[in-house]
A = this chain, B = another copy of it.
Amino acid sequence: MKKHNFGAGPCVLPQEVFKRAAAAILNFNDLDLSLLEISHRSADFVAVMKKAQHLVRALLGVPEGYHILFLQGGASLQFTMAPYNLMRVGGRAAYLDTGSWSSKAIREAELLGQVEVAASSKDRNYSYIPKAYRMPSDVDYLHFTSNNTIFGTQFKAFPQAEVPVACDMSSDIFSREIRVSDFDLIYAGAQKNTGPAGTTLIIVKEGILGKTGRKIPTYLDYQTHIDRDSLFNTPPVFSVYASMLTLQWLKENGGVGWIEGINAEKAALLYDEIDRNPLFEGLAARADRSTMNATFVLKDKSRAKTFDDMWRAAGIHGLKGHRSVGGYRASLYNALSIESVQTLVNVMGELETKG
């Protein structure tokens, strides 16, 4: 049965990626060897890494002067690596607090220096994106989270700053066009639009490193990985390969501009139903609604059992909201088809007509 996977991550990827990744595990590049058993220093794998980096550069229009890395440890390790690499000894940084992931990033930065929370939406359970910031000018960098998976909010315009800008883009990178030159550090756990879990994409500007006066453990130092072109130690070979396939799928089909249009259509289709259907209510402020994660509730919770049975029967998977918010969360990542969204909207409509 065809499944409609609305899971928040790890999440749906293109079927073509699954097929090609499975084939490479059995016989990679006609070497009569599995992708899993070749050296990461072999010409065959070095070509995979280079191609993955090249695809990131092409898809996002990454200008000269930025390095592209595929590391390990997820955004959670980046929460530490960002301040390690950007915060001076005795320094301070500005953070925007727009949800659980921002809060976790703040806690890690506080271990290394002082954090100025320049804006927060905690007062209304992170249901909106703050628009006014108290931005100190003497901070080492500004950090924010572009899309908040748990609460379903997303920056539509990015904050500007005179200082280096660091952004956790884990859940919406490659979903919409961005101007990379507005950022100094972008990082993203792969497991949404980039590929499967197990690798973390880093885009870092030349010239912002080496200024902290801090002794940085070798693996945590971006410069280590820049100097070895992302092959300092054994990389997560499979995750990098499957990410390369995912980015290739995106590029061959039309790139970020193409998918941005489809993502807007998918989001409009679902949010229109949430707003139209009297049984449902959206959780995020309308202006800040995420195109990647739509959060909503049933106004009458006694209908939950019926609704849950209906969407499961329709082949829908992964619609339950995060425990800290409740209700429902429909994640609309790049590889989710508009047909899957239509299936969900149909079920929502059928629940209404059931009376």
A interface residues with partner B (beta carbon < 8 Å) = 1-3, 5, 7-13, 17-19, 21-23, 25-26, 31-34, 36-40, 72-77, 79-80, 104, 107-108, 111, 189, 191, 196-199, 215, 217-220, 232-239, 242, 317-318
Knowing that A2-B32, A80-B219, A191-B234 touch, tell me 7 more A-B residue pairs with CB under 8 angstroms. A11-B37, A36-B197, A40-B197, A74-B233, A74-B234, A75-B233, A80-B220
Copies of this chain in its oligomeric complex: 2
Residue of B nearest to A170 (CB): B234
Which 5 A-B pairs have CB atoms at the shortest separation, nearest pair first? A198-B236, A72-B72, A80-B217, A76-B233, A36-B196
A76-B33 in contact (CB<8A): no
Q: Please list 19 pairs of residues, one from A and one from B, whose beta carbons are closer than 8 Å in the complex, sorted by A's number.
A: A1-B32, A3-B31, A9-B39, A9-B234, A10-B36, A10-B234, A18-B34, A21-B25, A22-B22, A36-B196, A39-B318, A40-B197, A74-B233, A76-B219, A76-B232, A80-B219, A197-B234, A198-B238, A238-B238
Residues of chain B lying within 8 A (CB to CB) of residue A317: 33
| A142 vs chain B, min Cβ distance (A) | 20
* Shortest Cβ distance from A220 into B: residue: B80
Smallest Cβ-Cβ distance to A33: which chain B residue: B3
* Interchain CB contact under 8 A, A18 and B25: yes
> B9 contacts A219, CB within 8 Å?
no
Q: Are the C-beta atoms of A21 and B7 separated by less than 8 Å?
A: no
Report which of B7, B38, B79 forms a contact with A218, defined as CB distance below 8 A.
B79
Bound CA span A32–B36, Å: 24
Q: With the chains together, A8 CA to B318 CA distance in Å?
A: 40
Partner of A18, one of B26, B39, B72, B199: B26
Q: How far is the CA of A2 from the CA of B8 in the complex (A)?
A: 41
Would B74 and A74 count as touching, CB distance under 8 A?
A: no
Chain B residues with CB below 8 A from A108, complex form: 217-218
Is the Cβ of B21 less than 8 Å from the Cβ of A36?
A: yes
Interchain nearest-CB distance for A239 vs B (Å)? 6
